[in-house]
């Protein structure tokens, strides 16, 4: 198949990584894949374009592809994409964000031989309402791929699309990079004993990520386990006000390890944890950090929020809690005091990751969806041609 993946942003984000990884996997499966994204501003080092080139795919950056609606740029993109899709004779157009869905969908629909349009939706808690969502999903979509049953049910209930045109496909992780048999933790770097039980969180340090709940729970844990350590992997403009200074005022600063942002040794740093805490999804609705931890045999204490209970099965591969400080305290204490069950949950999390978060499995599933959508489109075209011939006779 000849496939156009299109992403309306230049920033390297969670959804951007999901989109690029799928495009790369499709290319490895032998398909002719084009990946289009917005051009980065001058002087920017980290962008979708830079990562794509680094991974062996030269993206098309000749369109504006704004993240947000711009009437002027959108109109120019619609015309340019219409010419591009017609010239390249793509079999399918796969969109990944609301604005590229709009412009690419309009471009594809304006062609005489309508090219099927697929949309991947990375919102785990449901799509935002409004005219754009209703129009793009109802009028410009031949198939929708969601990452959660919550979103699938919501879109079906709103009658944006019939249920047989919506598929749930798990977002994968790099199982080679997060291979527990190959990754060695770097506890020595943080003066952590190999035998100690260590918890942690991976998140951009922002106010809505509920760090106040974590700190209150940690204060209670320290009364029972004075030498317990908790890692915070991530950065944030207001990290001092949100986490560092409050931990000092609460008398638990020496128990907190602020690693900052990790890139090259991220997997090794994540592997320092015996369990992970995740209370509030960030910009990546797929909760990728949860999936990466599971791939490394790290069980997760997750809040009963959004799609998290779809990823984590309580007491099987992690713990699901209502995220009050008291509940989090009890969950952390349970993880510390029950190492055998903690290890079993980690093994179960690993098996789930291997089964459901595999990039090869995802690509195969998406290929099936492409073929289904194309076949339906061709059958519909034959039906209307038959009807037209019948009327003419």
The first and second tokens of residue 126, run together, are 């449901």
Going by C-beta distance under 8 Å and a sequence separation of 6 or more, which residues neighbour residue 270?
A: 178, 200, 202, 233, 262, 276, 292, 293, 296, 298
The first and second tokens of residue 138, run together, are 């109802």
**In-domain check, residue 178:** no
- 262 and 324 assigned to the same domain: yes
Cα gap 273→336, rounded to integer Å:
11
**pLDDT attached to residue 383:** 47
**In-domain check, residue 120:** yes
| 211-224 vs 325-337: helix crossing angle, rounded to 10 | 50
Host H or E run for residue 131: helix 131-139
Average pLDDT over residues 112-136: 86
Mean pLDDT for the chain overall: 92
- 319 and 287 assigned to the same domain: yes
Q: How many domains does the chain have?
A: 2
Selected residue with higher pLDDT from 383 and 335: 335
**In-domain check, residue 364:** yes
pTM of the model: 0.87
**In-domain check, residue 336:** yes
Q: Per-residue confidence at 45, pLDDT binned at 50, 70, 90?
A: confident
- 365 and 342 assigned to the same domain: no
**pLDDT attached to residue 104:** 96
Selected residue with higher pLDDT from 61 and 112: 61
- 163 and 205 assigned to the same domain: no
Check the CA dihedral 277-237-100-139 and report its sign: positive
3-class SS of residue 65: coil
- 142 and 287 assigned to the same domain: no
* Nearest CA-CA partner of 3 in 87, 91, 65: 91
Asked whether 110 and 139 are in contact (CB, 8 A), the reply is no
Whether 351 has a pLDDT exceeding 90, the answer reads yes
* Nearest CA-CA partner of 250 in 276, 212, 279, 278: 212
3-class SS of residue 38: coil
Residue 312, by phi and psi: left (phi above 0), alpha (psi -120 to 50) or beta? beta
Average pLDDT over residues 297-316: 95
**In-domain check, residue 177:** no
- 240 and 263 assigned to the same domain: yes
Selected residue with higher pLDDT from 144 and 131: 144
Asked whether 37 and 49 are in contact (CB, 8 A), the reply is yes
- 14 and 134 assigned to the same domain: yes
- 206 and 168 assigned to the same domain: no
Average pLDDT over residues 238-261: 93
Q: Kindly report the CATH number assigned to the domain that includes residue 300.
A: 3.40.50.2000
**In-domain check, residue 147:** yes
- 78 and 222 assigned to the same domain: no
- 138 and 242 assigned to the same domain: no
**In-domain check, residue 198:** yes
- 138 and 19 assigned to the same domain: yes
Alpha-carbon 15 to chain mean position: 5
**pLDDT attached to residue 387:** 53
Average pLDDT over residues 158-185: 93
24-28, 206-210, 339-343: the lowest-pLDDT one:
206-210
In the chain, the N- to C-terminal Cα span, in Å, equals: 36
pLDDT in tens, 204-221: 888 888 999 999 999 999
**In-domain check, residue 182:** no
- 349 and 366 assigned to the same domain: no
Whether 187 has a pLDDT exceeding 60, the answer reads yes
351: containing domain: 187-356
């Amino acid at each position: 198949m000849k496939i156009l993946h299109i992403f309306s942003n230049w920033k390297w984000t969670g959804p951007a990584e999901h989109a690029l990884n799928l495009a790369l996997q499709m290319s490895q499966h032998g398909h002719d894949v084009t990946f289009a994204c917005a051009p980065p501003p001058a002087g920017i080092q980290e962008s979708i374009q830079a990562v794509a080139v680094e991974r062996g795919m030269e993206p098309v950056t000749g369109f504006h592809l704004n993240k947000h609606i711009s009437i002027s740029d959108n109109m120019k993109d619609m015309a340019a994409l219409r010419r591009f899709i017609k010239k390249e004779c793509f079999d399918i157009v796969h969109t990944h964000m609301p604005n590229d869905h709009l412009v690419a969908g309009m471009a594809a629909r304006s062609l005489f031989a309508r090219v099927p349009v697929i949309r991947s939706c990375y919102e785990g808690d449901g799509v935002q309402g409004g005219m754009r969502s209703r129009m793009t999903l109802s009028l410009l979509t031949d198939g929708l791929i969601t990452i959660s049953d919550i979103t699938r049910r919501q879109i079906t209930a709103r009658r944006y699309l019939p249920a047989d045109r919506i598929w749930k496909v798990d977002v994968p992780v790099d199982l080679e990079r997060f291979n527990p048999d190959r990754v060695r933790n770097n506890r020595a770097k943080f003066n952590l004993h190999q035998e100690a039980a260590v918890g942690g969180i991976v998140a951009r340090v922002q106010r809505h990520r509920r760090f106040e709940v974590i700190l209150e729970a940690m204060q209670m844990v320290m009364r029972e386990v004075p030498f317990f350590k908790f890692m915070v992997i991530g950065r944030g403009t207001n990290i001092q006000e949100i986490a560092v200074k409050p931990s000092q005022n609460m008398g638990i600063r020496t128990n907190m390890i602020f690693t900052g942002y990790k890139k090259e040794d991220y997997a090794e740093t994540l592997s320092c944890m015996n369990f992970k805490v995740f209370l509030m999804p960030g910009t990546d609705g797929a909760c990728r950090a949860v999936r990466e931890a599971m791939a490394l045999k790290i069980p997760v204490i997750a809040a009963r929020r959004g799609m998290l209970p779809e990823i984590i099965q309580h007491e099987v591969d992690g713990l699901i809690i209502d995220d009050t400080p008291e509940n989090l305290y009890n969950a952390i204490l349970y993880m510390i005091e029950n190492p055998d069950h903690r290890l079993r949950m980690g093994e179960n999390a690993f098996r789930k990751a291997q089964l459901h978060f595999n990039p090869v499995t995802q690509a195969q599933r998406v290929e099936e969806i492409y073929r289904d959508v194309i076949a339906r489109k061709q059958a519909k075209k034959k039906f209307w041609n038959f009807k037209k011939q019948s009327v003419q006779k």
